[in-house]
Amino acid sequence: MEPNAPADNVARPSTPAPTIKQPPILFNKTQDIIAQLNELLDGTLIVYWNNVRGSVCHNDVIVLYRILERIGPQETVYLFIKSGGGTGEASLRIVNLIRQFGKRLVALVPLECASAATMIAIGANEIRMGPLAHLTAVDTSLTHALSPIDRDNDRVSVSLDELTRVIRLWRAEPSDAKVNPYQALFEHVHPLVVGAVDRAESLSIMLCRELLAYHVTDEAVANQIAATLNSKYPAHSYPILLDEARKIGLNAQRLSPEINALLLKLNLLYSEIGQKATTDFDEIRSHSNEILNIWEAQDIQLYFQQDKDWFYRTEERRWISLNDNSSWRAITRENGKIKKSFLHIS
């Protein structure tokens, strides 16, 4: 044995496990800004914020109910919306719930308010938009169990507008071959997916009409706005700015500079809260903590935190989740004391 070589029975120091990273919780800072906004507005402010991986979902409705129960009936509810979209049916439920507690709803839009979030906005009596704000088209796309698979072995979203454009381009091209375009398309997109997307578009138009009916009494006007949002624009992400929103018939107004500045400041805090906190153990194992959806009003904040391990399955070329402890969590302030708890939703 070499003089400096360790004996076999000598315990070697183990490498300490890395500390799991956690997203920051900035409750006191966000509450300060919400208090300032409540003083400037002639109503009560509710905040709804998604990070880029969050989305409008049905659980949001249950969480919102907790906030509305706390603040009680209001003459006017101001809803700050920042979201990339999600489920249109949840948008209708969100607006319907707020309408049961507030006689008037005003949407405050300083930034992105896309797809299903646009649906929430059109359910408001008034939409106030800042210089950076935009709405989008609401044409429906969905990820079906039979959707095509991408290079990472995940199901891709399919849009009816994309499918109809493929067919239209096919028919516009002169060709001697008498080939049914649907026959070729079905080799890549399952017929049931095409049918499901077509049905989803009809649902999207109906949802828009229902949302507009809360404040638009002229049925023809509501139908025109719904049709425009669903079929006029060449891209789902086409930005509908203030002037365009007015042209299509929405009651859109400019957001005051003072309120816009505070909302942007609030968004910066939420962006810090919603940053992705990933702890890497090795090349194929990691843990992620990330806050995706946030609801907040005076003295209460509820947020969904993704909290799970990830393992890369090489043979399938995809990440799978393990030990999922993701949940909704609540922070409340009672008599000056801050209380944290879990909100279990099934």
Distance CA 49, CA 293 (A): 6
Give the pLDDT confidence score for residue 256 in this predicted structure. Answer: 97
Residue 32 lies in a domain: yes
**Do strands 158-159 and 318-322 pair parallel, antiparallel, or not at all (unpaired)?**
unpaired
Does 55 share its domain with 175? no
8 A C-beta contact, residue 104 and residue 125 = yes
pLDDT score recorded for residue 255? 97
Judging by beta carbons within 10 Å of its beta carbon (0-12, 13-18, 19+), is residue 240 exposed, middle or buried? buried
Question: CA-to-CA distance for 137 and 229, rounded, in angstroms?
Answer: 5
Of 3 and 174, the structure prediction assigns the larger pLDDT to: 174
- Regarding whether 47 and 184 lie in a shared domain, the answer is no
Which residues form the domain of 111? 27-136+239-279+291-303+326-343
CA-derived radius of gyration, the chain: 24
Mean of the per-residue pLDDT values of the chain:
87
The number of distinct structural domains making up the chain is 2
* Per-residue pLDDT tens digits for 183-235: 777 777 777 777 666 666 677 888 999 999 999 999 999 999 999 998 888 77
Mean per-residue pLDDT for 242-256? 97
Are 34 and 175 in the same domain? no
**Measured distance CA(82)–CA(132) in Å, rounded:** 11
Mean pLDDT, residues 57-78 taken together: 96
> Which of 195, 212, 228 is where one domain is finished?
195
Task: For residues 46 and 182, state if they share a domain.
Answer: no
Do residues 132 and 243 share a domain? Answer: yes
